[in-house]
Every structure is written in structure tokens, then in C-alpha cells.
């Protein structure tokens, strides 16, 4: 199957939903710097997929997928910190960690398929 537009990429779709979940989880947080950083990193996940898709080559797309993967790792790191800072319950943190880990696996699979 050939993907015609970035909106059809499952990793992009799930990243968009995930960014909304992050905004919901941290929207009322008084620590503006933390909230801003985790929200920006979550948005970067889908934005880099979209931007990379419309680049001129698979190599460029892969490069942007790695950027997306890096943003996912940044979000993961912040989710661990959010528990230490008592910004989230362990239950909510685990749900978000599971979601971002799933997205990371999908992105990794996409990278592998494009490198063939």
C-alpha cells in the first residue's frame, strides 16, 4: 500500500491524539515551563512526521522520523519527571507512557520499512 498523504500514517494519527491527551493532562498545571515543554515535544511528534513525509526523499523522511522519535523520548523523560514532581498520578503516567511507547514502536517500524 502506498501512502498518499501524511494524514493516512498511523503514527501521525496516534501522535495527534496523544498530543491532545498531553494537553488535557497538563493544561491546568501551574508550572508553565514544564507544561510548555512537554506540550511542545508532544506536538513535535506529529509535526515531524508530517514535515518529513512531504520532503523529497525517503532518506529525508527517515531523518524527520528520527526527530519525531527524539520528541517521543523527550516526552517519556518528562513523564517520568512528572511523577517525581507529583504532577500526575502513577495511573495516568503509566497510561501516557504506554501510549508514547506504542507510538515510538510504530515510528521505529516505519523507519525500518523505509530503510529497506
> Quick check: 69 pLDDT over 60?
yes
CB contact at 8 A, 55 and 61 = yes
pLDDT confidence of residue 85: 98
pLDDT tens, position by position, 70-98: 999 999 999 999 999 999 999 999 999 99
pLDDT tens, position by position, 8-34: 999 999 999 999 999 999 999 999 999
Would you kindly state where each structural domain of the chain is located, as residue ranges? 6-115
Rounded average pLDDT over 35-60: 96
Q: What CATH class has 6-115?
A: mainly alpha
CB contact at 8 A, 103 and 14 = yes
pLDDT confidence of residue 18: 98
**Neighbouring C-beta atoms of residue 16, cutoff 10 Å:** 17
Among residues of the chain, what percentage have pLDDT more than 90? Answer: 94
**Neighbouring C-beta atoms of residue 24, cutoff 10 Å:** 10
| Residue from 73, 55, 72, 76 nearest 64 by CA | 55
Amino acid at each position: 500500500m502506498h501512502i498518499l498523504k501524511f494524514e493516512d500514517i498511523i503514527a501521525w494519527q496516534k501522535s495527534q491524539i496523544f498530543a491532545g491527551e498531553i494537553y488535557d493532562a497538563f493544561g491546568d498545571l501551574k508550572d508553565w515551563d514544564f507544561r510548555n515543554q512537554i506540550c511542545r515535544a508532544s506536538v513535535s511528534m506529529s509535526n515531524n512526521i508530517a514535515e518529513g513525509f512531504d520532503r523529497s526523499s525517503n532518506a529525508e523522511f527517515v531523518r524527520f522520523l528520527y526527530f519525531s522519535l527524539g520528541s517521543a523520548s523527550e516526552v517519556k523523560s518528562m513523564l517520568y519527571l512528572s511523577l517525581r514532581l507529583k504532577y500526575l498520578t502513577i495511573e495516568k503516567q503509566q497510561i501516557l507512557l504506554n501510549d508514547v511507547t506504542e507510538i515510538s514502536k510504530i515510528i521505529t517500524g516505519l523507519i525500518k520499512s523505509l530503510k529497506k
